[in-house]
Amino acid sequence: MKKLILGLIITACLVACNSLGDKKTSDEVVTTDFKENSKVTMDLFHAFENKDIKVFASLIADTAKIIGAKYGDSILTKDQHTTNLSSLMKLFNNSKANDIMLFPGMDPVTYKLVPSVRAYVRWTDDAVNGAKIEHKYYAVLEFNKDHKVVLIDEYFDVTGMLNASTAPKK
């Protein structure tokens, strides 16, 4: 009987240890999701650089909310945002995302990392009016389980960029 009980205890321990080894820690899940979300973020930047609004839109969830940097702007839908970006793309011959730094987000209550993406970028744009524009861009992007963007919260000098790119040619 003692051997049977000892055998059951050992078996239970082995099963418990083995099942723990199969589960990913929350840090591993966050890291894995953050890496995938970072790839999507880079794909968004490249789609904008390539003026490919279809690829850009394919990376955004249909229910996404976009909080743009424009003063007084309301929360935009995916369709409104892609329409705005299509118009913006027409102002530039060339746009390039430079010095890109991507970091995971942080839960404001627990201060633990979450798989959202904080993006710090220095954009350079050659406007069709001949203006050479350089501006800093910061955004927070949140994703669903399918790695589609569900929230973009942007911070940059959109008014300065628009003024420079729409000024009369010199």
Q: Give pLDDT tens digits for 3-34.
A: 655 555 665 555 555 544 444 557 777 889 99
Query: What predicted TM-score, i.e. pTM, was given to this entire model?
Result: 0.82
Q: Is residue 57 part of a domain?
A: yes
For 29-80, the pLDDT digits (tens) are: 788 999 999 999 999 999 999 999 999 999 999 999 999 888 888 899 999 9
Q: Measuring CA to CA, which residue among 81, 74, 58 is closest to residue 146? A: 58
Contacts of 63 (CB under 8 A, 6+ apart): 78, 150
Q: Which residues span the domain enclosing 160?
A: 26-166
Quick one: tokens of 5? 């009980």
In a domain, 110, yes or no: yes
Q: What is the pLDDT of residue 28?
A: 79
Q: Does 8 map to a domain?
A: no
Q: How far apart are CA 143 and CA 75, in angstroms?
A: 17
Predicted confidence at residue 20, as pLDDT, reads 47
> Does 11 map to a domain?
no
15 belongs to a structural domain: no
Asked, for residue 17, whether it belongs to a domain, the answer is no
In a domain, 97, yes or no: yes
Domain with residue 117: its CATH number is 3.10.450.50
Spatial CB neighbours of 105, under 8 Å, sequence gap ≥ 6: 113, 114, 115, 116, 117, 118, 140, 142
In total, how many domains does the chain have?
A: 1
| pLDDT averaged over every residue in the chain | 88
